[in-house]
């Protein structure tokens, strides 16, 4: 079983409009909603790849009940979310059909009380007992300590469970010091962590700060990975146009699935890039186009990279 942690879950709502214009009224042509938050996005892709997945984190209020109803209808995902008194947040994506651009509005999430956080930590430790790997994903809701991910990384390491961390800012800085097996920042998050805007040098610096392996997401330029086994760049065969929402989460799913399947790093990276590109190509934000994934997988270029000076 793969465990994904989403402390700040969301109900993702996508509106499609013909053309998005500031200060104007818009007629929405299509509305979709689905469980969201980075870890839930990762879980949905893992389940589609055939893996058993358990999701945990927080949920609350009427929005949380809608989110859990959607999870119940998703094959392959076990819901182990914990209730909180506050209401689960919503995220609104507005897709401009003329340009393909997406405008995102993200609510902050419910405040988590100290007893709710303590209950989560106990449940998390129990879930690790049957986990093959764990992903810690996304932002922290109000009330959760900024060092929360560092503590969760240490708990996973103590249980002997490989852990991937995908967050940003101070939670990432503290989490890296706890020595996660993999971190997956984007270029901006990596530069903020290390102070370096040269990706290869920055990934090596992030490893010195504690991460065993660093996989940097470089947008349309693919992934750059630095691990004890080597350094690689994985690039999609063609530029894919569409909605990038959830593409990074699909890459995390590719890395995690490759980890538990014991694939070599080049194969993990090829899968992650193909899934990411297939997510951009999908008509619904955060889903992936299986046909595009299968077509892209064998065409992703993965090459070794020399050590930075």
Cα separation, 139 vs 37, whole angstroms: 9
Catalytic residue among 166, 181, 249, 289: 249
Q: Within 13 Å of residue 284, how many CA atoms lie on the same side as its CB?
A: 14
Per-residue tokens: 90:
């919503």
> Left, alpha or beta for 41 (phi > 0: left; psi -120 to 50: alpha)?
alpha
The Cα–Cα gap between 269 and 36 comes to: 24
- Reply yes or no on whether 249 is catalytic: yes
Cα–Cα distance between 217 and 234 in angstroms, integer? 10
Using only C-alpha atoms, the chain has a radius of gyration, in whole angstroms, of 19
Give the C-alpha separation, 102 to 124, whole Å: 34
**Spatial contact of 216 and 203, defined as CB atoms under 8 Å apart:** yes
Nearest Cα neighbor of 136 from 294, 15, 252 is 252
Calculate the CA 209 to chain-centre distance.
Answer: 21
What is the set of active-site residues?
249
């Amino acid at each position: 079983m793969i465990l994904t942690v989403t402390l700040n879950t969301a109900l993702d709502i996508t509106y499609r409009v013909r053309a998005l214009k500031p200060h104007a009224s818009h007629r929405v042509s299509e509305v979709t909603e689905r469980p969201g938050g980075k870890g839930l996005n990762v879980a949905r892709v893992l389940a589609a790849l055939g893996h058993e997945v358990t999701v945990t984190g927080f949920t609350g209020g009427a929005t949380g009940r809608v989110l859990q109803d959607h999870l119940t209808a998703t094959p392959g995902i076990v819901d182990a979310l914990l209730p909180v008194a506050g209401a689960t947040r919503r995220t609104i994506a507005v897709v401009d059909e003329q340009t393909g651009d997406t405008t995102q509005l993200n609510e902050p999430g419910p405040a988590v009380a100290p007893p709710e956080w303590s209950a989560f930590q106990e449940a998390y430790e129990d879930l690790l007992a049957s986990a093959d790997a764990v992903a810690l994903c996304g932002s922290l809701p109000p009330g959760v300590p900024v060092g929360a991910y560092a503590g969760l990384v240490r708990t996973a390491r103590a249980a002997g469970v490989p852990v991937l961390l995908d967050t940003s800012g101070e939670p990432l800085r503290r989490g890296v010091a706890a020595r996660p097996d993999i971190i997956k920042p984007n270029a901006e998050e990596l530069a903020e962590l290390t102070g370096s805007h040269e990706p290869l040098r920055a990934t090596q610096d992030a490893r010195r700060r504690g991460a065993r392996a660093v996989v940097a997401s470089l947008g349309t330029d693919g992934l750059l990975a630095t691990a004890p086994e080597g350094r690689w760049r994985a690039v999609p065969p063609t530029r894919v146009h569409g909605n990038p929402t959830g593409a990074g989460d699909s890459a995390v799913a590719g890395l995690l699935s490759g980890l538990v399947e014991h694939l070599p790093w080049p194969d993990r990276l090829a899968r992650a890039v193909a899934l990411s590109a297939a997510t951009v190509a999908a008509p619904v934000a955060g889903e992936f186009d299986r046909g595009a994934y299968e077509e892209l997988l064998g065409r992703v270029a993965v090459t070794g990279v020399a050590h930075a000076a």
